[in-house]
């Protein structure tokens, strides 16, 4: 059973979905650590309620971003983590951290990457008049939101939608696809090699599994 660390900054609904999937056996893994960069992150309570060790690392306690990521990395190494799962972790990880956990960091981003990397994806999609939005699970490399895509989920944007409607629609998809992707990794089916995502020894298409592009 693999050891998983989940990094969060806020609500932690993706974390909760991962906790549930580990408990029900859908993910053949154990969350051994939850890390937050914000003391008030509600996800910390979810971790505590599930009996998962959790720690907060705040930037002001460190000289720079690298020192903070070094401390987080040391903690994850101490916990013998096999997979680092970013679930709403809103701080950009430094290159040494990414290299230290190379090939075993996953992220979920609320857009159909490569469209809308970075912040404010819902507003940007709606202002552009897009008819669909979505979410992407991808491996993390040194380029922000730029690593190989594993799986995406699309949702429609309707003309009378408010931002919150689209956000909820996307979130519902995230809670389905993230545990699924983590389960593939935990089962040894999903790997990151040569900058590409592989599922069952096949390179996944640029837009991930079951891409319709």
Point out which residues bind ligand GAR (CB under 6 A).
Answer: 8, 10-15, 43, 87-88, 108-110, 135, 171, 174
Quick one: 13 or 183, whose CB is closer to ligand GAR?
13
3 state SS of 200: coil
Which residue has tokens 């609500």? 11
- Token pair in block for residue 151: 């799986």
Backbone angles phi, psi at 48, to 5 degrees: -60, -45
Q: Are 147 and 113 in contact (CB under 8 A)?
A: no
Among all chains, which residue has been given the structure tokens 């979905």?
Answer: 17
- State the CB neighbour count (10 A cutoff) for residue 30: 14
- Output the residue with the shortest Cβ distance to ligand GAR: 88
DSSP code for 59: G
Nearer to ligand GAR, 10 or 208 (CB): 10
What tokens were used for 64?
């720079």
Q: Which is nearer to ligand GAR, 111 or 201 (CB)?
A: 111
Please report how many Cα atoms fall inside a 13 Å half-sphere around the Cα of residue 112, on the Cβ side.
Answer: 15
Q: Which residue has the tokens 């040391």?
A: 74
Closest CA to 178 of 153, 212, 213: 153
Residue 68: CB minimum distance to ligand GAR, A: 18
CB of 61 to ligand GAR, least distance (A): 22
Minimum gap (Å) between residue 123 Cβ and ligand GAR: 12
- Identity of the residue, 74 or 142, whose beta carbon is nearer to ligand GAR in the bound complex: 142
Catalytic-role residue among 23, 109, 133, 138: 109
**Minimum Å distance from CB 135 to ligand GAR?**
6
- Tell me if residue 138 is catalytic: no
Residue positions annotated with a catalytic role: 109
């Amino acid at each position: 059973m693999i050891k998983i660390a989940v990094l969060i900054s806020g609500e932690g609904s993706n974390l909760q979905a991962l906790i549930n999937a580990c408990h029900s056996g859908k993910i053949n893994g154990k969350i051994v650590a939850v890390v937050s960069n914000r003391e008030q992150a509600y996800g910390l309570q979810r971790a505590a309620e599930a009996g998962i060790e959790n720690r907060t690392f705040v930037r002001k306690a460190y000289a720079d971003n690298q020192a903070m990521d070094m401390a987080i990395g040391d903690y994850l190494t101490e916990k013998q983590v096999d997979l680092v799962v970013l679930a709403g972790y809103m701080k950009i990880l430094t290159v040494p951290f990414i290299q230290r956990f190379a090939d075993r960091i996953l992220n979920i981003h609320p857009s159909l990457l490569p469209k809308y990397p970075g912040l404010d994806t819902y507003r940007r999609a709606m202002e552009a008049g897009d008819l669909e939005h979505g979410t992407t699970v991808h491996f993390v490399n040194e380029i922000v939101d730029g690593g190989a895509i594993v799986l995406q989920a699309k949702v429609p944007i309707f003309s009378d939608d408010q931002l919150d409607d689209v956000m909820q629609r996307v979130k519902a998809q995230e809670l389905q696809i993230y545990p699924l992707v983590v389960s593939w990794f935990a089962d040894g089916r999903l790997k990151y090699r040569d900058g590409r995502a592989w599922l069952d020894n096949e390179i996944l298409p640029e837009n991930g599994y079951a891409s319709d592009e």
